[in-house]
Structure 1
Amino acid sequence: MIRVHKIHPAGSGPDDPPADRITLDREDRHRRRAVMTGENGLSFLLDEADAVFLHHGDRLELEDGRIVEVLAEPEDLVEIAADNAAHLVRIAWHLGNRHLPTQLMGETVRIRRDHVIEGMVARLGGRLTPVTAPFDPEGGAYGHGRTQGHSHDHGPGHSHGHTHSGAHHHHDTGHD
């Protein structure tokens, strides 16, 4: 099976048009080893020494020189704005204190939809706008968009389930 030879960060690397594209959600973009199949049927192996986080727009160069473009699957998010930078920093502190993956957007931040957290942000005076967009949270101290590894119980009946949509296939051979 053809392997990924090099990962080029978004905006860098060969300008060749991609031979294929692969659309992955945030969890699927954090991998060490996986067989992946692009939208046009090109199968390849990502096999890195350590887990990597693939960002929207990254380009995977295969051993034969072909390029596969990584696209982040749009997810249900909420964009948070505040009155000023100090107010946004206060809200961001509360999100970080809860170990929530957060994408910094300049004058706004994005998080995954969660009615409990959205209620907290509203009580803090944040302005919330639901969006469906790619999610590329900050790396932070624990890795690219990953949290510390513990959960917060929001009570009975509250779940954070998600579904995968779009035309992508991968065979997970293990997260590291």
Structure 2
Amino acid sequence: MQHVHSYIPAGQPSDPATAKVELPHDLRHLRRKLLHLDNGEMVMLDLKEAVLFADGDKLMLENGDLVEIVAAKEKLFEITGRDRLHLTELAWHLGNRHLPAEIDEERILIQRDHVIRSMLEGLGATVTPVETAFQPVRGAYHAHGGHDHHGHDHHDHGHAHEHDHSHDHHEHGAECGCGGHHHGHDHGHKHG
């Protein structure tokens, strides 16, 4: 069985791929995994650090052959607003909920969630069911727990205690999945 220890990001010059592997967004964050290719073969991915792969990235096999990552079509909601400012406001509401979202200039894509759909429509958004590839913004992806092989370092950034919160209902602990990072919430609440 061939092993993969390196990859070529999408858009960089490379030879054509000899095989493909189709994966939804939540299975494209990989470090070590047995992959089933479209030609019936299997390869062992074994990287030093976890990588969040995008559509079009290519895995390099030991024999020099390339396997292309294909983003599987997923059942999503396409969100559009009245204008760009409105779309930005909708993105803010989604970001507040730590939802994986793919954000373009004209639309936002999220996984189908009917509670979120109702909220968005209440805010004036147009929400349309679509089936397409999904590449969420990287930061939103890392807000999820459940992975023990992140390629980034959470042990000691040297700033875990430099934020002085005078109240504790916004404190983040390990259970929130954000790694204790400050998310830029505005703590200067004003009450009229």
TM-score strictly above 0.5: yes
Instruction: Report deviation, 1:136.
Output: 0.4
> Which residue of structure 1 aligns with residue 135 of structure 2?
136
Name the CA distance, whole Å, in 2 between partners of 1:51 and 1:39.
23
Structure-2 change in CA distance of 1:55 and 1:175 (3 Å): farther
Name the CA distance, whole Å, in 1 between partners of 2:66 and 2:144.
33
> Which residue of structure 2 aligns with residue 89 of structure 1?
88
Alpha-carbon RMSD across the aligned residues, in angstroms, is 1.7
> Which residue of structure 2 aligns with residue 121 of structure 1?
120
AA paired with 1:82? G
1:68-106 alpha-carbon deviations (Å, 9 max, x no partner)? 011111110011111111111111001000000000122
AA paired with 2:99? L
> Which residue of structure 2 aligns with residue 21 of structure 1?
20
Higher relative contact order (CA 8 A, sep 6+): 1
When normalised by structure 1's length, the TM-score is 0.79
Tell me if the contact between 1:18 and 1:69 (Cα under 8 Å) persists in the aligned partners. Answer: yes
1:144-173 alpha-carbon deviations (Å, 9 max, x no partner)? x232439xxxxxxxxxxxxxxxxxxxxxxx
Normalized per residue, the structure richer in helix is: 2
Name the CA distance, whole Å, in 2 between partners of 1:134 and 1:44.
23
Structure 2 residue runs of 5 or longer lacking an equivalent are 150-192
After the TM superposition, which of the residue ranges 93-102 and 60-69 deviates more from structure 2? 60-69
After the TM superposition, which of the residue ranges 3-12 and 88-97 deviates more from structure 2? 3-12
* 3-state SS of 1:49 partner: strand
Q: Which contiguous aligned blocks of 4+ residues in structure 1 show a shift greater than 2 angstroms?
A: 145-150
> Which residue of structure 2 aligns with residue 53 of structure 1?
52
The answer on 1:149 being equivalent to 2:148 is no
